[in-house]
Amino acid sequence: MKRERLFITLGAINAFIAIGLGAFGAHGLKTILSESALQTWQTAVDYHGFHALGLILIGILAPTIPAVLRSGWWMVTGIILFSGSLYLLSLTDIKILGAITPFGGGCFLISWMIVAWYSFKVDQPPKTL
C-alpha cells in the first residue's frame, strides 16, 4: 500500500471510530458518566474526529508534497495520547491520565507545523494559460 493511501485509510478508520465513540458517549454513557466526564469524552471525540480528517488530508497532499507524510505519524500518536487519555480519564476518573493529554496535544501541534512548513516550502509549478 502506498504511504499516502495508508494515511487515507488510517483517517477513515479513525473517523469511523470517532463517530462510533461519539454516539456511544451520547447514548450509552449519558446516564452513567457525570456531566464533566461527558464533556471530557466529547472533547476526545472532537479532537479524534478532527485529526482523522487531518490524516485524510495528509494522504491527499502527499503525492504533491511527500514530506507531509512525516506529520501523519505525529497525528496518529496525538490521537492515541490526547483522545485516548481523555477517553480513559472519562471512564476511570484516574486523574493522572490527564498528565498524558498535553503530550498528545504537542504531537498535534507538531503534525500541523510539519504540514504548514512543507506546504510553504513546496515549489509551485508555473501557471499555464
Contact 46, 87 (CB under 8 A): no
In this predicted structure, the answer to whether residue 82 has a pLDDT above a threshold of 70 is yes
pLDDT at 120: 87
Report how far residue 69's alpha carbon sits from residue 52's, in angstroms, rounded to the nearest whole number. 14
Domain boundaries, the chain: 3-120
Q: Which residue has the cell 476518573?
A: 93
For residue 128, name the pLDDT band (cuts at 50, 70, 90): low
122 CB burial (10 A radius; 0-12, 13-18, 19+)? middle
In this predicted structure, the answer to whether residue 32 has a pLDDT above a threshold of 90 is yes
In this predicted structure, the answer to whether residue 121 has a pLDDT above a threshold of 90 is no
pLDDT at 123: 64
pTM score, two decimals? 0.90
* Span 123-129, average pLDDT: 53
Mean pLDDT (the chain) is 93
